[in-house]
Structure formats: structure tokens, C-alpha cells
């Protein structure tokens, strides 16, 4: 059974919110996972693992300090969803040719869609790499050269972002459907479930506002 990308985005967004992130970050996480699945990359799997790992972690512990060219978390490991949004918000810096290195970051594959968005927004070629993976984005086209270990990597000590001078790797072809393993689906569905309000008899009737007969 395959999934529509819309379903994947909604599930990823709700799961991210359910795991404790703010709505704005969750919205971009949904789009990021959709982008990865559309590129044939295991976006839902890494999201499920990240949310499990970061469940209950405070924002301030895993957000980057963006003051210099080396970004790291105050307290250990950077969250790629938060770091990704910070990169997008600073796309202009990269456009001017700066190089940014990230300290230890969890599931770096999740950074890739944010780099694509930053490149599209700034109109500049950007390259991201860590051991085993290089991805370039230029002119709305992506190339990637990666081992499956590097894609699934749970954490990486150093990730580098910089202006891309050449495109290396295989061009990513877009897909229109995604697959989710049952295990991953269950993890994400459990997180998403936290965003749903338990029903009460009152809410069943008044919340949706029906109550009149439809048998007419």
C-alpha cells in the first residue's frame, strides 16, 4: 500500500506537534518529511526515530546558538528540525558565501529539505555534507551522493554547509507516492494521537454542531 504525499505530510506535522514542538516548526517538519519521501529518501523513518529520541527534551537544550559560523546545541545534540528552520531563516548568510559548521546533530538527513528550501529562497547553490553523504541544491535541482548508513545515521559530530561550486552525485528524481513501514506508521500515529482531544458526550453533539435528523 502506498501513501499520498499529503497524507505523509499531515502525519509528520501532527506527530511533530504531538512530540512537543511548536506548530510553526511542526508545519515545516511536515513539509520536510514530504520532500524527503518525494525524493525517495526514508524521511518518515528518521522522523519517527528523532521524535522518539527527543520526546520530552526542552527546546533550549537542542536549538542552535547561531551567533558564529559554528552552531551547536547548548546542551549536547542539535535537533535537525529546529536547526533546519534556523538555516532557512538565515539563508541570506549562506548566499553570501559563508560556511557554517554544525556541531553534533541528530538524524542529519532531516536537514536536507531545509537546505533545499534555503537554496531556493536565496537563489544560490548550497551544499551540505557529513561523512558518507553529500547533497547539493542549485536551480531547484538536487543531487545526492550517499550511503544508506549515512542517510539513516542517528547522529553526526560535524555537518558542513557552504556555497556549492559543483554539483556532485546523482540527480534526485521526484516521486509522487511514499511508503511507510508499519512500525514507523505506528510510532508517528502515537505521537500524532497526542494532538487529539478525547471525546465527551457533549463534544460529540455540540462540537460538530449536528443533532438534527438527517433522515429527511
Task: Report CA-CA distances (Å) from 146 to 55, 133, 134, 143, 153.
Answer: 28, 4, 6, 10, 11
**Minimum CB distance to other proteins, residue 65 (Å):** 9
Query: Is 186 near other proteins (CB under 8 A)?
Result: no
Which CB sits closer to other proteins, 72 or 85?
Answer: 85
Query: Is 53 near other proteins (CB under 8 A)?
Result: no
Residues numbered 121 to 150 that lie near other proteins (CB under 8 A) are: 121
Contacts with other proteins: how many residues (CB under 8 A)? Answer: 52
Query: Is 190 near other proteins (CB under 8 A)?
Result: no
Q: Which of 68, 97, 173, 176 binds other proteins (CB under 8 A)?
A: 176
Which distant-in-sequence residues (6+ apart) come within 8 Å of 63 by Cβ? 73, 74, 78, 79, 82, 83, 86
Q: How many CA atoms lie within 13 A of 10 on its CB side?
A: 6
Q: Which of 61, 120, 145, 179 binds other proteins (CB under 8 A)?
A: 120
C-alpha span between 12 and 29 (Å, rounded): 7
Residues numbered 56 to 115 that lie near other proteins (CB under 8 A) are: 59, 63-64, 66, 82, 85-86, 88-92
Look at residue 67 and give its three-state secondary structure: coil
- Return the C-alpha torsion angle 129, 99, 93, 66, nearest 10: 90
Which distant-in-sequence residues (6+ apart) come within 8 Å of 134 by Cβ? 127, 128, 144, 145, 146, 168, 169
Q: Which stretch binds other proteins (CB under 8 A): 1-9, 98-106, 142-150, 179-187?
A: 1-9
Binding site for other proteins (CB under 8 A): 1-7, 21-25, 27-28, 31, 59, 63-64, 66, 82, 85-86, 88-92, 117, 120-121, 176-177, 193, 195-200, 202-204, 206-212, 214-216
Amino acid at each position: 500500500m502506498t501513501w499520498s504525499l499529503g497524507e505523509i505530510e499531515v502525519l509528520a506535522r501532527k506527530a511533530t506537534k504531538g512530540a512537543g514542538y511548536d506548530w510553526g516548526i511542526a508545519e515545516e517538519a511536515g513539509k520536510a518529511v514530504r520532500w524527503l519521501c518525494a525524493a525517495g529518501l526514508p524521511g518518515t523513518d528518521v522522523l519517527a526515530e528523532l521524535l522518539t529520541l527527543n520526546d520530552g527534551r526542552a527546546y533550549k537544550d537542542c536549538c542552535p546558538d547561531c551567533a558564529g559560523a559554528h552552531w551547536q546545541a547548548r546542551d549536547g545534540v542539535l535537533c535537525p528540525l529546529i536547526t533546519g528552520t534556523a538555516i532557512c531563516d538565515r539563508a541570506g548568510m549562506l548566499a553570501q558565501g559563508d560556511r557554517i559548521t554544525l556541531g553534533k546533530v541528530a538524524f542529519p538527513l532531516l536537514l536536507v529539505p531545509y537546505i533545499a528550501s534555503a537554496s531556493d529562497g536565496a537563489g544560490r547553490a548550497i551544499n551540505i555534507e557529513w561523512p558518507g553523504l553529500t547533497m547539493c541544491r542549485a536551480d531547484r535541482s538536487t543531487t545526492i551522493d550517499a550511503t544508506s548508513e549515512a542517510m539513516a545515521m542517528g547522529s553526526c559530530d560535524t555537518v558542513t554547509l557552504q556555497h556549492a561550486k559543483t554539483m556532485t552525485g546523482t540527480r534526485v528524481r521526484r516521486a509522487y507516492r511514499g511508503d511507510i513501514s508499519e512500525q514507523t506508521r505506528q510510532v508517528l500515529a502515537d505521537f500524532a494521537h497526542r494532538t487529539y482531544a478525547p471525546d465527551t458526550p457533549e463534544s460529540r453533539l455540540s462540537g460538530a454542531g449536528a443533532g438534527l435528523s438527517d433522515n429527511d
